[in-house]
Chain A
């Protein structure tokens, strides 16, 4: 994979396929509220509610991310990526952690979208929509996920924090439920979930995420250029 998609001082991290999941924490489910049971959803997700961040979205720490034409703001879905270390298929929760190489800090960017009914391709797959930190931290060095706190700042001002204490599916459970039907390959990344209504950044701002043992990740948000890129 190359860094041709967005200007950046570093090449894009070499990752396989990046998958994400929404509504994997109880706080987000609570925010969704009664809408979970109403049409069009008619009930909370049973299987992990997944999406894919394709190759064009992956950019490095320090990238400048240009929003699609006409867009002025983006949600900063600060999260942790589970980096796969061995082919992972039909894992059981008991043994799933053996397939994990480590964890990486990821900013899953989305154009704000109210409906989760249809795949949000334009909203989640625009060029540069997935800044990934440079270093995958081995599981042994990452500490307890329950102790991890991500702090998101926009232009130097803290706008939100993210913890992983209220997960619907923890890492082993998520890996088991995903690999029940799809194989993850070495280098693939499974995001542990983004917060519903995550903090936003506007075009022209600079975003910084602090993640303790997982390091930091920064990027700039810009409006679309007028001419074709």
Chain B
């Protein structure tokens, strides 16, 4: 099963797909997917993200693959939904997407063995972990100014149940910018796989339902500019859409209409 959280007619709803372009609410109402506000499919608890978790990407950034997972955290301010906007500040010269498989934790656990780890997974969604490299500093890198910016981590569209994904270690990841494919990879190339990450994190932290692990991205980074439509897609999980906007559009009162017609 795949589920979305949306805002519609003044309330928050769980919705399921109804054909290709519509959603069905619990009471049977059918709504167009472009009419609703898509919220992150889960209310995020602790959000973990992985750096350099694909060998090719590590190489692309001229780093040796890490010996232990390179983990950083995000606050709730960073997360936004499907079909939302992310802001590229005027002074940025290099802002790139990162298509990532996001693992949603489904039950509380501490010191989880690798062999039991998948029992703690509720499901999966797609994350786009934007980074603005201009703000990189070598203090707790990647630092929050790069990775914890408001609404710069879109998440969605769906929460897909764990058992609906036959093999999460063989999923194609694709990013398209304005329809042109710029990033292609497979979850088979992860350095630390999902059970390893759950075992590692839970060796010193209690994981709780709603916690998210963004498992890293393969190579294929590219700069994105205001107006670009970025689709990050993972086979069998979903296609997450986001639009990059500039400061003027983001802060303008009528920004919503303006960007839609752009």
Contact = CB atoms under 8 A, between A and B. Distances in A.
Contacts of B145: 47, 50, 181
Interface string B133-151: 0010111111111001110
Contact of B140 (A43, A54, A118, A229): A118
Given A55-B46, A127-B205, A117 B138 contact: yes
Contacts of B7: none
Contact of B205 (A22, A120, A125, A228): A125
Interface string A63-89: 000001100000000000000000001
B76 interface: yes
Given A125-B205, A127-B110, A127-B205, A182 B75 contact: yes
Nearest to A122: B204
A117 B145 CA distance: 15
A22 B139 contact: yes
Q: B140, B142, B150: which has the most chain A beta carbons within 10 Å? A: B140
Contacts of A161: none
Interface in A37-75: 40-43, 45-47, 49-52, 54-56, 68-69
Interface in A89-132: 89, 116-122, 125-127
A119 B49 CA distance: 11
B76 A182 contact: no
Contact of A119 (B46, B135, B140, B205): B140
Contacts of A127: 110, 204-206
Interface string B66-88: 00001111111110000000000
A121 B108 contact: no
B46 A45 contact: no
B178 interface: no
Given A56-B46, A182-B144, A183-B150, A41 B205 contact: no
Contacts of B36: none
Nearest to B68: A122
Contacts of B140: 22, 49-51, 116-120
B110 A40 contact: no
Interface in B179-208: 201, 203-206, 208
A229 B110 contact: yes
A193 B72 CA distance: 19
A112 to B, nearest CB: 15
B98 to A, nearest CB: 16
A185 B139 contact: no
Interface of A: 4-5, 17, 19, 22-23, 40-43, 45-47, 49-52, 54-56, 68-69, 89, 116-122, 125-127, 181-185, 188, 228-229
Identify the 4 closest CB pairs spanning chains A and B, nearest first.
Answer: A49-B139, A68-B204, A54-B46, A52-B73
28 contacts: A4-B108, A19-B75, A22-B139, A43-B138, A45-B137, A47-B137, A49-B139, A49-B143, A50-B143, A50-B148, A52-B144, A55-B45, A56-B46, A68-B203, A69-B204, A89-B150, A118-B70, A121-B48, A121-B73, A121-B201, A127-B205, A127-B206, A181-B144, A181-B148, A181-B149, A182-B144, A182-B149, A188-B75
